[in-house]
A and B are shown apart, each in its own frame.
Chain A
Amino acid sequence: MSRFQRFPTASPRRILACRAAALFVAIAIVGLVLAACGRNVGELGRLVLISTIGSRFGLEDLALFMSPLLLTGSAVTVTRRMGLWNIGGEGQFYLGAVGAAGIGLFVHGPAILILPLMALAAMLCGMAWIALPALARAFAGVNEIITTLLLNFVASLLVYWLATGPWRDRVTGALASSGRLPVSIPDMWGVVHWGFPLGLLIVVGLAAVMSSTRWGYEVRISGASAGVARYAGMPVKLRIISAMLLSGALAALAGMFEVAGTVHRLQGGMADNFGYLGIVVAVLARGSCLAVIPAALLMALILDVGIVLQTQQVAATAVLAITGLVLLLVAIADECAHYRPVTPAIVRPARSAS
């Protein structure tokens, strides 16, 4: 007789299979609940498929959802490799938007010069925003989860203040927004801007840096065991700081893409939880940079389905519950993947009933 035993690792194929099963179960549960509420599940499912992956319109929306998630997801993944959590992606996203909007609003010139300048300013702002948590973590051991998280609220209020105060729009009368940026990331395909392929490229580049540079090697070793890294003479503190700065820059770049590609104005609430969703993407990607791409796609799909369901009169709160259900089942599936049936080599004598 075989029994299940937990193994410390699970093969990617096993995890994938378990997750597919989890998604299937999630869809089945949602379908049953909707059917019990008297909804036509078949019609709803057909509409969801057409509006997400079954039409050009849906694919455009998926790509638009993915482009910030790719960057905020890889921002968290970088710190995961270091054994740290950057929960401050939302704040760094906002600061990136502030830096980019600051250049876009007040420096005038051809887009070909201004756009890279905006990206640079965004990354510097994001790095500045995470610098304090990074230094506090490296030199004083202050828990970076708390410090990065709390700075999100400061960043959000800073954006509200700028957008309704000194930078508020005085030209078109747009509410609670800065003026419209004169330059924008050009569209590539419908409403999808070039930030999407650029985001993909950055994720692939990051994977290469992580797996085949000395820096990436040292980050991975420091993350696996700081003691071993120190013993091997690796500058662990410097690696903590550099990995966190890179993380801040990536999340900030997502903010630049969003402000210059989609929203075109600085305004409160524009981060749309992309910073927090980056944490979910990183958890789904299990610390692998390349896996950020399918994880971001899954997250984008969930968000997109949520919008379709809302226009079909499923309440926003129900959509949130569905998202939670999917992620819960995926987390359970990840754990289940570590269990494998083992057949004991030696057949022990049956124990007496007790």
Chain B
Amino acid sequence: MGALAGSGLWRPVSALADAPTLAPHLPPLREEDALVAFGHTGPITDGGWSTAHDKGVQAVRKAFPKLRTVYVESVPYSADATRIFRQFVAEGANMVFSTSNYGDFIKDVADRAPEVAFLECDGVTVTGNLGWYYVTHWYPSYIIGIAAGLMTRTNRLGYVGTFPIPSVYASANATLLGAQSVNPGCTMHAVATNSWFDPQAATQAATALADSGCDFLCGITDEPAFLRVAESRGLKAAMWNLDMRRFGPKAYVSAVVLDFASFYIDQVRARLNGTWQAAANFLTLAHGVDRDAWGETVPQAIREQADAMRDRILGGYNPFRGPIRDNSGTVRIPAGTVMDDNAIYQWDWGVQGMTGLG
């Protein structure tokens, strides 16, 4: 796994960073002296996002048996997050990961603790001791979208969203664009539940989407509630985070699956070696993020057609190319231009055919 270090698979994003990548200034640490802390947005038993990050934490523990690690679950997106990160620092943490975006709540703490390395998942800010990392989930979403476009009968896709933020726009837009690439009549209906982990709200949203005629559900929740709805209503569903097919084997099509183990081990090793730099990092397709193995009910022809796109993307192809119109019909990405990862990462408008995400 160490072979990944410096091989360029964590693609640094210099354009987004408001500070240039700074020279390492944190001294090396002995493994047995170091404390690495993780703040999770949900419970590590959510079976999705936080479980995926916790698998990364377990990989770190295995790779560095003498290292001390601590974690806190269900860190709220409020001033309580600041208190928890401050407490990590007070207890002597040398490195703090937040496995979700905490914005100012983590930056305020990082600014007051320059001797501690901070890494924020889905962050936007890079300072001397605060960097961020994220998965380019829009590529597997596009691949899954192709399967969705081929499998839907009603041409209405349902999206169980959380908050109208760029990751959600990117995920929903990519799926819809993938579907439209093989089935131009596809539309998508999105519902925001205002929570990453609220199985009850996700179930209600999925039921409402199914009632309105959507026969393919996708979304970005941390848990599998809408897969159960799809299974019981005889629909199809594509998930996020981990293999969740046991919650709905007939409905399961695929998922955007995450694997943070190599990245976390890499970053912790760099911190221990004294070579850690605050940077912006994208985990790319097949290196931290991918589509899951296809579900049992996905026909072979559809698997092959979608995987052909996966091969093209791995070969360097970018499917996010103009013309792309927004949901008012205005061309936002003109013909002949592509949206790079930075642009997709900051996506804040819905593509043509999208309702529920303005």
Contacts and interface: CB of A to CB of B under 8 A. Distances in A.
Given A164-B163, A267-B77, A307 B104 contact: no
Given A172-B125, A264-B104, A269 B77 contact: yes
Given A175-B165, A263-B78, A313 B70 contact: yes
Contacts of B88: 311
B320 to A, nearest CB: 19
Given A258-B79, A269-B76, A315-B73, A177 B103 contact: yes
A271 B78 CA distance: 8
Given A165-B164, A268-B194, A175 B122 contact: yes
A47 B70 CA distance: 15
Given A173-B346, A268-B194, A272-B78, A55 B165 contact: no
B209 to A, nearest CB: 19
A215 to B, nearest CB: 34
B70 to A, nearest CB: 6
A57 B112 CA distance: 12
A55 B86 CA distance: 13
A160 interface: yes
A262 interface: yes
Interface string A309-325: 01111011000000000
B273 interface: no
Interface in B62-120: 70-74, 76-80, 82-84, 86-88, 90-91, 101, 103-104
Nearest to B18: A172
A174 interface: yes
A164 B163 CA distance: 7
A174 B104 contact: yes
A310 B87 CA distance: 10
Interface in A262-317: 262-265, 267-272, 304, 307-308, 310-313, 315-316
A312 B166 CA distance: 34
B78 A270 contact: yes
Nearest to A308: B87
A192 to B, nearest CB: 13
B190 interface: no
Given A180-B104, A269-B77, A270-B78, A311 B87 contact: yes
Nearest to A264: B104
Nearest to A160: B194
A263 B76 CA distance: 13
B124 interface: yes
Contacts of A267: 77-78
Contacts of B346: 173
Interface string A254-265: 000010001111
B146 interface: no
Given A172-B124, A313-B71, A265 B79 contact: no
A41 interface: no
Interface in A234-270: 258, 262-265, 267-270
Q: Chain B interface: which size bin?
A: 20 to 34
Contact of B74 (A262, A265, A304, A316): A316
Interface in B224-251: none
B37 interface: yes
Interface string B120-133: 00101100000000
B87 A51 contact: yes
A17 B86 CA distance: 34
Question: Considering residues A165, A176, A264, A270, which has the most beta carbons from chain B within 10 angstroms of its beta carbon?
Answer: A176
Nearest to A263: B79
A264 B80 CA distance: 14
A218 B90 CA distance: 50
Contacts of A173: 124, 166, 346
Contacts of A47: 91
A267 B88 CA distance: 24
Contacts of B74: 316
Contacts of A265: 103-104
Question: Considering residues B37, B78, B80, which has the most beta carbons from chain A within 10 angstroms of its beta carbon?
Answer: B78
Contacts of B164: 164-165, 176
A130 interface: no
B83 A307 contact: yes
Contacts of A57: 86, 90
Given A61-B83, A164-B164, A165-B164, A175 B101 contact: yes
Interface string A195-219: 0000000000000000000000000
A311 B37 contact: yes
Contacts of B122: 175
A278 to B, nearest CB: 16
Contacts of A310: 72-73, 84
Contacts of A304: 83
Interface in A28-78: 47, 51, 55, 57, 61, 64
A267 B104 CA distance: 12
A154 to B, nearest CB: 13
Nearest to A267: B77
B163 A311 contact: no
Interface of A: 47, 51, 55, 57, 61, 64, 157, 160, 164-165, 172-177, 180, 258, 262-265, 267-272, 304, 307-308, 310-313, 315-316
Interface of B: 37, 43, 70-74, 76-80, 82-84, 86-88, 90-91, 101, 103-104, 122, 124-125, 163-166, 192, 194, 346, 358
8 closest A-B pairs by CB: A173-B124, A175-B165, A174-B103, A272-B78, A310-B72, A176-B163, A164-B164, A316-B74
13 contacts: A51-B87, A55-B90, A61-B86, A160-B163, A164-B192, A174-B124, A265-B104, A267-B77, A267-B78, A269-B76, A307-B83, A311-B88, A315-B73
Given A269-B76, A311-B70, A311-B72, 10 more contacts: A55-B90, A57-B90, A164-B164, A172-B124, A173-B124, A176-B164, A177-B104, A265-B104, A269-B78, A312-B70
